[in-house]
Amino acid sequence: MAWDEWEQIKADVTGRQSVAMRLNQAPAGPGPSAEAATDTLKSSRKAWVTAGEGVGSLRGGISTALTQLENGQAGLGAVTGCLGAAAQKDVYNSWKKYVRSVGERCGSLQELLERAGKDQSTTDEAVKDELDRLKLKYADTDPVGGQDQGR
């Protein structure tokens, strides 16, 4: 997940208000030692936990959407002999899988954020590495029809 995507999620969760988060880190290169820089490091456990709870709250809406999707399928019946119904069932199964994956992604991100808030000794790089792993695990597929190839 890119950092700008993360900023967008935070803004959406906080009621469409822009919330800027700055992760401080020890300066690179010559200058004060890491120990001296850490003495002035300020990070709020509450901010991390609140961000995690916000992302976690998205799971409720996702669960509701999945329930509505399932309810919309009720009564479809057998799809043999009807190509339209068979295609619709395939689309439903695809979206069901995708919506579940989005919910899992929110849960994984929530855990990561809350853990980062509780374990303040985790470096920015370690948190970013975990975010990158989530990005790989939940990578979206290419859009139908492939790349536009400059069209």
In this prediction, residues 119-124 reach a mean pLDDT of 73
For 47, 103, 109, 117, 149, the CA distances from 40, given in Å and listed in that order, are: 18, 37, 28, 17, 49
Length of the chain: 151
Close Cβ partners of 23 (under 8 Å, ≥ 6 residues apart): 43, 124, 127
Whether 6 is covered by a domain: the verdict is: yes
The Cβ of residue 49 has, within 10 Å, a number of other Cβ atoms equal to: 17
Residue 112 has pLDDT above 60, yes or no: yes
pLDDT at 14: 67
Rounded to whole angstroms, the Cα distance separating 106 from 137 reads: 12
Residue pLDDT, tens place only, 86-108: 888 888 888 888 888 888 989 99
Average pLDDT across the chain, whole number: 75
Whether 115 is covered by a domain: the verdict is: yes
How many domains are there within the chain? Answer: 1
Whether 151 is covered by a domain: the verdict is: no
pLDDT band at 1; cut points 50, 70, 90: low
